[in-house]
């Protein structure tokens, strides 16, 4: 009872007369209490020297070991309208199974015979290419014919020129002969005229010689005209050669121009055929995209875009799928201060949500309900939660993991060095990090590099 009043009963009443008072105020009770406190102090002192495993704890989620095994959403590469669903949430699908059917919402793809009409355009353009090729062949033959004809024409003109030159030579000889004849006729006339003045020749002989001289002069003029005419024929033959070259060059150039035009049109038609074939292939692929199929074996999680008749854009999530075959892993997050203490291959204990466990973080051997794991990857860049992501895989030398589902929570404990409990208490009170250390194989590599 409390002594809070002025009427102090313990002075008037002896508490030792009561049974409980006798037990409490007896010397034997003090002895037992002192022994208990002594034993407890000794046990606490011994416990301070017991080994304690330093650890780094973190919270994470159950995931899969490889990216292709993780839950994913299925999108459509083209915009469309939902027409029919072939699955329900929770159904098991295999790779290639149809999940839903969609229809086009763009007017340029509404035609049901778009591929057939495109094939007709391709055939028409291909025929146009063949026609241009035939035209090119015909123009090639025409050019060869013109070249052959030009060759014959030039040969004919050269022969004509040669004939004209030979005729000039012949006429020039005749002209020289006429000049000789007129000289002879002039001397004969002069001689007869002298004899006639002397009275030795008759006037009639003089007149005959004068007539012959005049005839010879006329023949000389005629022969000179003939020579000039043949020279003109040579000039005309040369002009004709130039005319033939120019005429046929123009014809051949025009035919070659037509050939190049036909070739250009053929190349343009080939480009249009290639473009149409590309469009045709795109139309075929686009038609196949009207059926959304499963990318791998798995379970349909959730229809993100439900209903019938709803429209969506390309790349928009339509349905979620979870692969049926996967290897479990755990992703956990650690503080940047603890990151240097973790290495690939470190042992980690994992506690899964929903699975009962008794955890002693410092004594992993006496913990119950935890499972072994190993560090297989450490993220190189900090996450949005200001921590580093660490990926854990099951430890094959430990118990198999339970049948947990991807996405469930997990608590991880990374095991470090063994230290006394007093040291761990001192470290925790001073907020020091765990002891920095390196695995044996890594320390050996560093020592080799230094050497």
CATH number at residue 86: 2.40.50.100
Q: What is the pLDDT of residue 107?
A: 87
Task: For the chain, report the end-to-end CA distance as a whole number of angstroms.
Answer: 78
**Residues 410, 330: contact at Cβ < 8 Å?**
yes
Going by C-beta distance under 8 Å and a sequence separation of 6 or more, which residues neighbour residue 16?
A: 22, 25
pLDDT classification of 211: cutoffs 50, 70, 90: confident
The phi, psi pair for 322, rounded to 5°, reads -115, 120
Q: How far apart are CA 232 and CA 163, in angstroms?
A: 12
**Residues 379, 317: contact at Cβ < 8 Å?**
no
Q: What is the pLDDT of residue 27?
A: 57
Tens digits of per-residue pLDDT, 17-57?
677 766 666 655 566 677 788 888 888 888 777 776 667 78
Together in a domain, 150 and 280: yes
Residue 126 placed within a domain:
yes
Together in a domain, 254 and 299: no
Residue 261 placed within a domain:
yes
Is the model's pLDDT at 154 over the cut of 70?
yes
Tokens of 60: 């994470």
Together in a domain, 295 and 276: no
Q: Which residue would you say has higher pLDDT here, 53 or 249?
A: 249
**Residues 394, 330: contact at Cβ < 8 Å?**
no
Residue 397 placed within a domain:
yes
Q: How far apart are CA 72 and CA 319, in angstroms?
A: 9
CATH number at residue 156: 1.10.287.620
**Residues 195, 208: contact at Cβ < 8 Å?**
no
Q: Mean pLDDT: which of 265-279, 328-342, 417-431 is highest? A: 265-279
CATH number at residue 431: 2.40.30.170
Together in a domain, 347 and 219: no
Q: Find the angle CA(388)-CA(393)-CA(399) to the nearest 5 degrees.
A: 135
Instruction: Tell which of 299, 323, 347 closes a domain.
Output: 323
Q: What is the pLDDT of residue 297?
A: 93
Q: What is the pLDDT of residue 99?
A: 93
Side-chain-side CA neighbours of residue 137 (13 Å):
6
Q: What is the pLDDT of residue 449?
A: 46
Task: Report how far apart, in Å, the C-alpha atoms of 336 and of each of 56, 378, 381, 432 are.
Answer: 11, 12, 10, 14
pLDDT classification of 85: cutoffs 50, 70, 90: very high
Nearest alpha-carbon partner for 345 in 372, 314, 321, 310: 372
- Cβ count near 300 (within 10 Å): 20
Instruction: Tell which of 323, 347, 372 closes a domain.
Output: 323
Q: How far apart are CA 296 and CA 323, in angstroms?
A: 7
Residue 105 placed within a domain:
no
Together in a domain, 168 and 134: yes
Together in a domain, 346 and 389: yes
pLDDT classification of 366: cutoffs 50, 70, 90: very low
Q: What is the mean pLDDT of residues 381-393?
A: 90
Together in a domain, 146 and 173: yes
Residue 107 placed within a domain:
no
Q: How far apart are CA 128 and CA 281, in angstroms?
A: 21
pLDDT classification of 382: cutoffs 50, 70, 90: confident
Residue 134 placed within a domain:
yes
pLDDT classification of 278: cutoffs 50, 70, 90: very high
Task: Report how far apart, in Å, the C-alpha atoms of 350 and of each of 251, 347, 375 are.
Answer: 92, 10, 12
Q: What is the mean pLDDT of residues 4-22?
A: 66
Q: What is the pLDDT of residue 446?
A: 44
Instruction: Tell which of 264, 285, 306 closes a domain.
Output: 285
Together in a domain, 316 and 274: no
Tokens of 335: 């503080």
Q: What is the pLDDT of residue 56?
A: 76
Residue 108 placed within a domain:
no
**Residues 96, 295: contact at Cβ < 8 Å?**
no
Tens digits of per-residue pLDDT, 98-145?
999 999 998 888 888 888 999 999 999 899 889 989 999 999 999 999
Together in a domain, 160 and 236: yes
Is the model's pLDDT at 276 over the cut of 70?
yes
Together in a domain, 236 and 248: yes
Q: How far apart are CA 85 and CA 99, in angstroms?
A: 6
Together in a domain, 281 and 297: no
Q: What is the pLDDT of residue 389?
A: 92
Give me the number of domains the chain comprises: 4
Residue 109 placed within a domain:
no
Is the model's pLDDT at 168 over the cut of 60?
yes
| Mean pLDDT of the chain, nearest integer | 81
Together in a domain, 305 and 370: no
Task: Report how far apart, in Å, the C-alpha atoms of 55 and of each of 2, 101, 105, 419, 434 are.
Answer: 49, 53, 58, 11, 8
* Domain of 13, in residue numbers: 1-48
């Amino acid at each position: 009872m409390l002594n809070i009043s002025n009427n102090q009963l313990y002075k008037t009443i002896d508490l030792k007369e009561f049974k409980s008072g006798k037990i409490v105020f007896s010397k034997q009770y003090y002895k037992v209490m002192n022994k208990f406190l002594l034993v407890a102090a000794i046990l606490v002192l011994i416990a301070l020297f017991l080994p304690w495993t330093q650890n780094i704890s973190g919270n994470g989620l159950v995931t899969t070991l490889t990216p292709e095994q993780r839950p994913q959403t299925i999108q459509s590469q083209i915009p469309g309208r939902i027409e029919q669903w072939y699955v329900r949430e929770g159904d098991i699908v295999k790779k290639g199974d149809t999940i839903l059917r969609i229809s086009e919402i763009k007017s340029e793809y509404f035609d049901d015979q778009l591929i057939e009409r495109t094939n007709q355009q391709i055939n028409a353009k291909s025929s146009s290419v063949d026609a241009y090729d035939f035209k090119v062949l015909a123009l090639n033959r025409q050019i060869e014919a013109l070249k052959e004809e030009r060759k014959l024409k030039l040969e004919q003109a050269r022969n004509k020129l040669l004939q004209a030159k030979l005729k000039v030579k012949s006429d020039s000889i005749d002209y020289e002969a006429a000049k000789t004849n007129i000289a002879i006729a002039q001397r004969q006339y002069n001689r007869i005229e002298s004899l006639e003045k002397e009275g030795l020749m008759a006037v009639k002989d003089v007149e005959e010689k004068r007539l012959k001289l005049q005839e010879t002069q006329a023949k000389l003029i005629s022969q000179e005209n003939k020579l000039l005419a043949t020279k003109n024929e040579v000039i005309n033959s040369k002009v004709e050669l130039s005319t033939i070259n120019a005429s046929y060059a123009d014809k051949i150039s025009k035919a070659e121009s037509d050939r190049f035009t036909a070739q250009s049109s053929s190349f343009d038609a080939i480009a249009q055929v290639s473009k149409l074939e590309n469009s045709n292939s795109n139309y075929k692929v686009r038609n196949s995209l009207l059926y959304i199929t499963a990318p791998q074996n798995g379970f349909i999680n959730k229809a993100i875009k439900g209903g019938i008749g709803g429209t969506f854009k390309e790349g928009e999530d339509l349905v979620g799928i979870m692969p049926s075959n996967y290897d479990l892993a755990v992703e956990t997050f650690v503080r940047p201060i603890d990151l240097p203490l973790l290495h690939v291959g470190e042992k980690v204990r994992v506690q899964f949500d929903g699975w009962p466990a008794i955890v002693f973080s410092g004594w992993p051997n006496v913990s119950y309900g935890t499972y072994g794991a190993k560090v297989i990857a450490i993220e190189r860049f900090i996450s949005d939660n200001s921590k580093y992501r660490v990926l854990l895989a099951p430890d094959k030398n430990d118990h198999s993991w339970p049948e947990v589902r991807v996405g469930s929570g997990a608590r991880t404990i990374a095991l470090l060095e063994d230290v006394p409990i007093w040291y761990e208490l001192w470290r925790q009170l001073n907020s020091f990090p765990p002891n920095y250390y390196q695995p044996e194989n890594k320390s050996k590599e560093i020592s080799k590099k230094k050497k």
